[in-house]
A and B are shown apart, each in its own frame.
Chain A
Amino acid sequence: MRLLNINMISSTGQEFKTRITSDSKFFKRLIPQLVELWEYRELIFFLGWKDVMSRYGRTSLGFIWVIVQPLSSLVVLSLVMGKLMKVSSDGFPYPVFAFIGILCWQYLMSTASATQLPGLAAGRLLTKVYFPPLTIPISILVLPFVDFLFGSIVLVGMMVLWHCQLSVNIVWLPLFLGLEILIALVISLWFMALTIAFHDMRHVLPILMQLLYLASPVFYSSSVVPKNFAVLYDLNPIACVIQGFRWSILGAGQPPFAAMIPGTCVLIVLLCLGFTLYDFVSRKVADII
């Protein structure tokens, strides 16, 4: 038996929840952990809100940077890939086509870099006071999501500018948005756990993100992928979600549902492994740091 921490009725008669942190198997602990997480939702929003405020409130041009980042990468990609290399965009205006990919990518990329900045600071916080460790990787998803929303406004503007018709597939958008958030969660769990455990992680992360960037149809269309590679390609959940976004917003390509199955399976496996890994690391964090 490891730690059995039971909070019962306190002396003031106020009832406290039962907190059990025993050495039982992960799935036995998962449900109580999720319940505990729900009780701490206010903390998650508070931490997320603080991130948003410091991003938008503390820099002098605050919210402009949020749009400049994806736009500058859009300009470069449109010139190099769209004009010079003539990368196919399945018949849609290249800037709009690429911008959807960039927005999706930016969300994951900012999540990944956010795990680096507070990774160690959060680790230190966990060594001082008890709170559900899962609040940290979840709360860092908030700021990139707000950026994502602002970026979407720009996307709408661009679609008007290039006379793009909104597809009726848009009703499926929430599904892909959900998948996108899950991918971000996987990234945040894995990278945060690894950063806490191994400080070397910050050197590995840029390489990994670079590979993922090339393996996902951010600046190209997944239709250029040869048939023999398609099976392998579909295993990448990021590819699925970007295809899904393009299909639901522009109506680009085939309905991606069949192709989504392998990617979603990979995502679920990674999510479960990520939870286990983070759970393991966060319980040892006070020992490691």
Chain B
Amino acid sequence: MSYPVELHGVSKRYNIYDRPVDRLKELLWRNRRCYHREFWALRDLNLQFEKGTMTALLGPNGCGKSTMLQIIAGVLQPTTGSVSVHGRVTAILELGSGFQPEYTGRENAIMYGLILGISQEEMESHMDEIARFAEIGDFLDQPVKTYSSGMVVRLAYACATVVDPDILLVDEALAVGDVRFQKRCLDKVVELREKGKTIIFVTHETTVVEWFCHRAIVINGGKVLADGKVEEMLPLYKKLMDDPDAIAAKVFTAPAAAY
């Protein structure tokens, strides 16, 4: 059986250059000399996500959760390993990720749809639903730069959920909305889960995880620390958060391969 989202040995390495000119130097030396250090954001992740489940990714800031979501969304390329994704992926990665501040809410929604391969016509037909869910009223035809941060995230949420995704990636997008909106977002997420969609959720709010998620994965320093039922993972996560020494240090290493 194939899973909607599968990660096989995924690692992500960033080359860290101290100065921009180092990048140029390395290019001119055609990699015979090395001017960078490496940062491994993810190391050898092997994960499967089942259909109709809601998984929480837990871990300290900068442990690689967002990088992992970006790789699943197809925005980042893993350094090693492969990812296979079956179905339409929508992501709420950051506050209004990808919205153009000069465009109106309606135009941004249409562009969002076009980016996902949905025709302008179809997106227009969802527009009422988007406006209703985002509660932005007449601001729909105003540039997004005039929106409050809550409105932006509501619009992002409305766009991402209205297009009937098979896989929904949510990255700490709940924190901005007010309590009422958070509740409606969660209701929507649960509704999608019931419909058999796969949801991967990054949050620091353990209560949300406790109530809604089937599974939790604790990540630390780019590696999977533990993976399993929420009840078992939460104490582990809390222990990790209470112990500053346990949180993986972020170190740059010299490149492994000799040039």
Using a CB–CB cutoff of 8 Å, the interface residues on chain A facing chain B are 1-12, 16-17, 19, 21, 39-40, 42-43, 46-47, 50, 54, 121, 125-131, 198-200, 283-284, 286-287
Contact = CB atoms under 8 A, between A and B. Distances in A.
Given A43-B111, A54-B102, A130 B74 contact: yes
19 contacts: A2-B77, A2-B82, A3-B77, A4-B83, A4-B84, A7-B86, A8-B87, A10-B86, A10-B88, A12-B166, A16-B87, A21-B74, A21-B77, A46-B114, A46-B120, A128-B93, A128-B97, A128-B98, A130-B115
Interface string B26-66: 00000000000000000000000001000000000000000
A130 B197 CA distance: 20
B70 interface: yes
Contacts, number: 103
A287 B166 contact: no
A91 B75 CA distance: 57
Nearest to B102: A54
Interface in B138-189: 164, 166
Nearest to B4: A11
Given A43-B115, A46-B111, A7 B88 contact: yes
Interface residues of B, number: 45
B98 A287 contact: no
A47 B120 CA distance: 12
Given A4-B82, A5-B74, A11 B120 contact: no
B197 A11 contact: yes
A284 B4 CA distance: 25
A287 B73 contact: no
B24 interface: yes
Contacts of A287: 14-15, 76
In this complex, which of B74, B103, B197 has the most chain A Cβ atoms within 10 angstroms of its Cβ? B74
Contacts of A199: 20
Contacts of A198: 20, 23-24
B75 A6 contact: no
B85 interface: yes
Contacts of A16: 87-88
B87 to A, nearest CB: 4
A58 to B, nearest CB: 9
A139 to B, nearest CB: 11
Interface in B197-247: 197
A11 B196 contact: yes
A17 B118 CA distance: 12
